Amino acid sequence: MNRMLLGKPQDLWGRIRRSIDWVVVTIAFALISLAVINLNSAGTVAWSESVMIHVGWLCVGTIAMFAVSAVDYRVLYRTSYVAYGAGVALLGAVAVWAYTAKGAGRWLVIGSQRFQPSELMKVLLIVALARYIHDLPRREGNRVRYLFGALGMVLVPAIFVIRQPDLGTGIFLILIATSMLAVTELRLRSILVLGSAGVLSLALMWRYGMLEYQRNRIDVWLTPELYADDDGYQTIQAMISVGNGGFFGRGVDAGTQNVLRFLPERFTDFPFAVYAEEWGFVGCSMVLALFISLVLWSINLASQARDRFSALLCIGVAALFFWHVVINVGMVLQVFPVVGITLPFFSRGGTNLLSMMIALGILMSVSRSRQYR
């Protein structure tokens, strides 16, 4: 009788089932399914070698995600600085033995695979910064002093990355850090000061610090039609692809911009353009809705977190996805200039995928021990 009322004692499977955050898993695998369909469509043949490599990384990433989710986030707390140090060391290694491709050294080659430590660094920075902010003494006077520590933690990897040169990812690291600081430490006034300082430094960089190709890229972004036959080709073709999709899209594997190869970088920076052409406004809204759900769910988890560290982890992951999606999609839609920021799951690139899955794992780990389940 009692057993009927209380239900059966939880078996192992039941416990595993209940400890998994199914919201995250559902959203992630919905996105992954669409992404794999899209990658197949962007390729010449379905299930080509490169798609299979992507799927392989997906499996590795899935295992990593569940493995990380099984780890108590307090373990992450303890290992965070070590991991961060290892990440910076990897970046240093890249700087020394960079595999150079197209003038930028970002990869480490291990076996037949290439790793991009700057991608992994995004997650490591989130964890380390969460611990740093968590550890800060609260309700005390001079807090700007502590901010310098955070600044240092961001700038060391960011400078490594920018010197690769990969300005996009460098700024991306700063964006994540700023987002995390904005939620906890910074006052509104400081945020405004920091924001204007950021704009000012960008302006100064534009004037003095930028490489020619980077400055040119901004020019092309603002007036792509003037460069339609050379530098602006990519931007214009991406916009044509998106516009060609219309409301319902051209259908999978039927977008002319994609199939006839007018759209460049279909696997890396512009998979969203392929997707937009073939799935149309309806499909795009669906993917954006999935991403927004993920980001909002992360913020929700943050607000339910047991402590500052786990809340910051969730905010970091939310920022990671948010900026990835906004910048990549914005770039395809000509809202931002072309920078090498990928779209999570949709872009090919193993380290990136792995980092994203680990980030989701962290989310699930926090989710397991949040306050109001």
Partner 1 sequence: MISLGAPEDLRDLRPRFHAMVGLVLLAFIGLVGRLCQLQILEGEHYARRAERNFIDAVPVEAPRGRIFDASGEPLATNRPAYSLYITAWVRDVAPVVPGVAVVRGDRKAMPDDAVRQLAAQLEFVDENDRKKFVGAVNVLRADEEKGHYATAVRGNLTWEEYARIQTRLDSLGNWVEIRESSRRHYPQADITGFVTGYMGNVRPETLKRGGHAGYRTGDRVGRTGIERQWENYLRGRLGARSRVVDVRGQEVPTPPNEALAVLPPDRDPIPGQDIHLTLDLELQRAAYDAFEGVLAGAVVAIDVETGAILAMVSIPAIDPNLYEHPIPRTLWDEWTASPLKPFIDKTVQEHFFPGSTYKVVSALTALQDPEFDPSREVECTGAVKYGGRRFRDTHAHGFMNLERAIVESCNVYFYTLAMEETLTLEDMAGVARSLGLGERTGLGLNGEVRGRIPTEAFEARTGTYQRGVQLNNAIGQGNVKVTVLQLAVLYATLANGGELLTPYIVERVTTNDGRLVFSSQPQAKIAPEITASDLERVHRGLLGVVNDESGTAYSERPRGLVVVGKTGTAQVGRDQQREAAEVEGWDSSKDHAWFAAYGPADAPQVAVVALVEHGGAGADAAAPIVMKVLQHRLGGTSESEAPVRAPGVPPPLPGRDEGREGEGGR
Of 285-344, binders to partner 1 (CB under 8 A) are 285, 288, 291-292, 295-296, 299, 302-303, 305-309, 311, 315, 318, 322, 326, 329-330, 333, 335, 338-342
Shortest Cβ 305–partner 1 spacing (Å): 6
Q: How many CB atoms lie within 10 A of CB 147?
A: 17
Q: Which is nearer to partner 1, 1 or 54 (CB)?
A: 54
Tell me the β-bridge partners of 113: 110
Rule CB under 8 A: is residue 62 a binding residue for partner 1? no
Contacts with 54 (C-beta within 8 Å, 6 or more apart), sequence order = 36, 39, 348, 350, 353
- In the shown chain, the binding pattern of residues 77 to 116 toward partner 1, with x for contact by CB under 8 A and - for none, equals x-----------------------xxxx-x----------
Q: In 10 A of CB 107, how many CB atoms?
A: 20
Which parts of 207-236 interact with partner 1 (CB under 8 A)?
A: 213, 217, 220, 228-234
Which is closer to partner 1, CB of 92 or CB of 349?
349
Q: Which of residues 21-50 bind partner 1 (CB under 8 A)?
A: none
Of 228, 226, 279, which Cα lies nearest the Cα of 42? 279
Q: Which positions ≥6 away from 93 have C-beta within 8 Å?
A: 108, 117
Edge-to-edge order in the sheet of strand 99-101: 99-101, 104-110, 113-115
User: What's the CA gap between 100 and 114, in Å, rounded?
Assistant: 11
Minimum Å gap between C-beta 218 and partner 1 is 11
69 or 328: whose CB is closer to partner 1?
328
Q: Taking the complex as a whole, how short is the minimal distance between the CB of residue 132 and partner 1, in angstroms? A: 12
Which of 368, 330, 362, 4 shows the shortest CA–CA distance to 168? 330
Show contacts with partner 1 in window 170-189 (CB under 8 A): 182-184
CB of 8 to partner 1, least distance (A): 30
What number of chain residues touch partner 1 (CB under 8 A)? 86
